[in-house]
Structure 1
Amino acid sequence: MTHPPYLREKARAIRVEKRLTIDEIAERLALPRTTIYHWVKDIPIPRARPGRPFPSEAQRRGNDSMREKYRLLRESAYARGASEFDDLCAVPTFREFVCLYLAEGYKRTRHEVAICNSDPAIVALADRWIRRLAQRPPAYCVQYHADQDLRAVQTYWGEVVGVPPERIGLQRKSNSGRLAKRTWRSEHGVLTIRIGDTLLRARLQAWTDRIRAEWV
């Protein structure tokens, strides 16, 4: 039996966009499984891993709905950031914080706000604003070299950001101990301030976009 060409194109589109199995496409289009197989056999979909089967169509719809929900929340937070920018710029050091994040902040993900530096003045400024803007306290971690006094490093940064030394996590630098003749300029290591906050990250994006637009 010859089927209309549009059905083949629809089957292939569903395979790509919805990542449906051959059985699911056959059921959706009310067509034989063998027909669907010949139409889409060249389009692979990710294989299910042991103990983690493919999500059902209902699960996929739920996931799509959740993604849309958070997309709208991010857009709302971005709009909020754009509208509040001018008022916040009237607050001392806010603009400096945004410029600092634009230059030094972590931008690879839309779900996290993070900044690292070895200068205590820069770290203190960033910490004050992140704690002021976020809904919960950030986490701290210092990169150190093998020849450093770890307790002294934790105590130093704890005093800078006003937290107990135990709150300062430790991460050994990957090249620690391999720079025999180095001149150590960051004697207290490099501190990272980090918090998972999607909405604050969206607001920050709006602020940095405004600053960047002024420079162009």
Structure 2
Amino acid sequence: MAHPAYLREKALSMRTARQFTIDELAERLALSRSTVYYWVRDLPISRAGRANAGQRRGNRAMQRKYRLLREAAYKDGLESFDRLAAEPGFRDFVCLYIAEGSKRNRNRVAICNSDMAVLKLGFKWIFSLTNKPLSFWIQHHADQDLAALRIFWSEALGIAPNAIHFQRKSNSAQLEGRSWRSTHGVLTVSVSDTLLRARLAAWMERVRATWS
């Protein structure tokens, strides 16, 4: 999609004069991060400029630091996509995340589903892409056998049964007699990894770009 020339000029000006990060530019100009990145990638933010301007103190300085880390991770995601896409299953994982992954929290990567094949693929790639501990939660109905659910998912993913935690579904008491409920519960595989989430955002953008 072609954007008006004035938007690119404005992004370049804000990057140079006000040292805006890619996140800040994307938010203020209502553009995708990948578009902004390609416009301003040759204009790195000057650390000295930020210090001399004295515009960030305390919490704002810390927030800016993490925005820059996310920006670097996003750039790494764009650049690493072709290499990773050559590995069997990676593109499938990214497509799966576009459809089923959680996108509400920029600090968390999570897939929630009741399909074993979906969770096995998601778990495999999340586990291989982070060095942080993963969490596993099963949403279940009131009358389900928790021990059996634990055994099913621990064997499916090859993880310790005691690594799996439980959360009762809020509507579990209203589903008596309904055959379509999740036989093995709904499992969420998640990790708190801000930089992985930023890379994943870039990978999703790269995949979406091939669909347009």
Residues 132 and 192, structure 2, Cα contact 8 Å, conserved in 1: no
Q: Is residue 2:159 matched to residue 1:163?
A: yes
SS at match of 2:176: coil
- The amino acid across from 1:164 in the alignment is A
- The amino acid across from 2:156 in the alignment is V
The Cα of 1:137 is off from its aligned counterpart by 2.6
Q: Residue in 2 aligned with 1:67?
A: 63
SS at match of 1:139: strand
- The amino acid across from 2:180 in the alignment is W
Residues 175 and 181, structure 2, Cα contact 8 Å, conserved in 1: no
**Partners of 1:206 and 1:187 in 2: CA distance:** 35
1:124-163, aligned counterparts within 5 Å? 124-163=120-159
- Percent identity (aligned): 57
The C-alpha deviation readout for 1:61-117, integer Å capped at 9, x for no partner, is 111111111000000000000000001000000000000000000000110000111
Q: Residue in 1 aligned with 2:207?
A: 211
**Partners of 1:147 and 1:184 in 2: CA distance:** 15
**Partners of 2:204 and 2:167 in 1: CA distance:** 29
SS at match of 1:141: strand
- The amino acid across from 2:161 in the alignment is P
- The amino acid across from 2:92 in the alignment is E
Long gaps (5+) in structure 1 = 1-59
Q: Is residue 2:186 matched to residue 1:190?
A: yes
**Partners of 2:177 and 2:101 in 1: CA distance:** 30
**Partners of 2:157 and 2:71 in 1: CA distance:** 31
The Cα of 1:118 is off from its aligned counterpart by 0.7
- Which structure has the bigger radius of gyration? 1
The Cα of 1:185 is off from its aligned counterpart by 4.4
Displaced runs of 4 or more, over 6 A: none
SS at match of 1:194: strand
**Partners of 1:155 and 1:180 in 2: CA distance:** 24
**Partners of 1:92 and 1:212 in 2: CA distance:** 18
Q: Is residue 2:107 matched to residue 1:111?
A: yes
Residues 154 and 161, structure 2, Cα contact 8 Å, conserved in 1: yes
Q: Residue in 1 aligned with 2:97?
A: 101
**Partners of 2:118 and 2:181 in 1: CA distance:** 16
Q: Residue in 1 aligned with 2:168?
A: 172
**Partners of 1:169 and 1:204 in 2: CA distance:** 25
Q: Residue in 1 aligned with 2:88?
A: 92
Normalised TM-score (structure 2): 0.72
**Partners of 2:85 and 2:181 in 1: CA distance:** 33
Q: Is residue 2:106 matched to residue 1:76?
A: no
- The amino acid across from 1:96 in the alignment is D
Long gaps (5+) in structure 2 = 1-55
The alignment's C-alpha RMSD in Å is: 1.4
**Partners of 2:80 and 2:159 in 1: CA distance:** 30
